[in-house]
Amino acid sequence: MLNIEIIPCLNDNYSYLIHDESANIVAIIDPADFDTCEKRIIKKYNKLDYILNTHHHLDHVGGNQKLKDKFKSKVLGFELDKHRIPGIDITLKEKQNFKIGNTFFEVIYIPGHTKGHIAFYSKDEKLVFSGDTLFSLGCGKIFEGTHEQMFKSLNKLKSLPSDTKIYCGHEYTKKNLEFCLKYDPNNEFLKRKINWIESKIKSNTPTIPVSIDEEKKTNIFLRCNEPAIKIALGLDSTSEQEIFSKLRDLKDSF
C-alpha cells in the first residue's frame, strides 16, 4: 500500500511524496524546491530513498541535488535525459518496470512537452504521475516535441484503465476549465465541475487527483473526436489529430 502526500511548491507546482508502507521506502516525484520538500520529508519520514523525475525542467528537478546530498537518495530519470537530470543515478527505459519498496511502477514514454518526458504508472495502485503532459482539464505546452508526439502521448495516458488516478505536475485546473468551457460549452460533466473546482481553489486545496474517466468526459484535449467540439471550432470534417493541434495552438494564446 502506497501513501501519497501532495506537496505544493513554488507558484503552482506539485511534488509528490510517496511511502511504500510494507517496505518502509520513501520516494519523491519531481521535487520542485528543496526547502519545501525537505521540511515535509523531515517531519513525516526523515528519510528519502529515491527521487523520480518526469522530465528535466527546473521546476521538476530543482530539489534533486540538495535532497540527494542530504538524504543520500538515488535519482531515477529517463535514459535520453541523463545529461540534463541533475544527480541522476539510475536510467530508465521506455516500458521498464521498477519497484519502489514492494510497489511496481512502469515507465510510460510520453514525449511532446519535452523530448524525454516520462510518466510513472502503477497498475496495482491505480495511479499515474503524469508530470507536465496530462493536467486536469488540460495538457502541457509543446516545447521540444511535435504536436503529433503530444497527441500520441495523451492517447497512451487516455488508454489507461478508467479508474486510474492522475497526479500531475501543476495546479492549472481553473484556467484549464475556462478554456474547456469556451470550446465545449454544452458539456454537462464540465459544467458540473465548476463549483467543485472553485471551492477547492478558494480553500487552497488541490484539485488533484482526478481519474482518467473524469478527464475523458471533461478534458477537451482528450475529446478531439467529439462532433460538438469540431463544430465549435468550425472544423467539422477535420481529423482528431488536427483538432488537437488547433486546440493546443489556441490554448497557447488563451
List contacts with Fe ion (CB under 5 A). 59, 132, 169
Window 125-184: residues binding Zn ion (CB under 5 A)? 132
Q: Is the CB of residue 187 less than 8 Å from the CB of residue 142?
A: no
209: cis peptide before it, omega within 30°? Answer: yes
Please identify which of the residues 19, 56, 117, 170 carries the catalytic annotation.
Answer: 170
What are the grid coordinates assigned to 242, written together? 488536427
111 vs 169, which CB is nearer to Fe ion?
A: 169
* Shortest Cβ 129–Fe ion spacing (Å): 13
Residue 113 CB, nearest approach to Zn ion (Å): 6
For Zn ion, give the closer residue by CB, 57 or 165.
57
Residue 114's CB is within 10 A of a number of other CB atoms, namely 25
Smallest gap from residue 85 Cβ to Zn ion (A) = 13
Q: How far apart are CA 94 and CA 79, in angstroms?
A: 9
Q: Which residues pair with 14 in a beta bridge?
A: 8
Residues in contact with Zn ion, counted by CB under 5 A, come to a total of 2
- Contacted entry of Fe ion, Zn ion, none for residue 20, CB cut-off 5 to 8 Å set by kind: none
Separation of alpha carbons 216 and 222, rounded Å: 6
Beta partners for residue 210, in sequence order: 166
Asked about 170 being catalytic, the answer comes back as yes
**Phi-psi category of 24—alpha, beta or left, where left has phi over 0 and alpha has psi -120 to 50?**
left
> What's the chain's length in residues?
254
Catalytic, 147? Answer no
For Zn ion, which residue of 19, 56, 57, 246 counts as binding (CB under 5 A)? 57
Catalytic residue among 20, 30, 33, 132: 132
CB closer to Zn ion, 135 vs 179: 135
**Catalytic site positions:** 55, 57, 59-60, 113, 132, 170
Applying CB under 5 A, the residues found at the interface with Zn ion are 57, 132
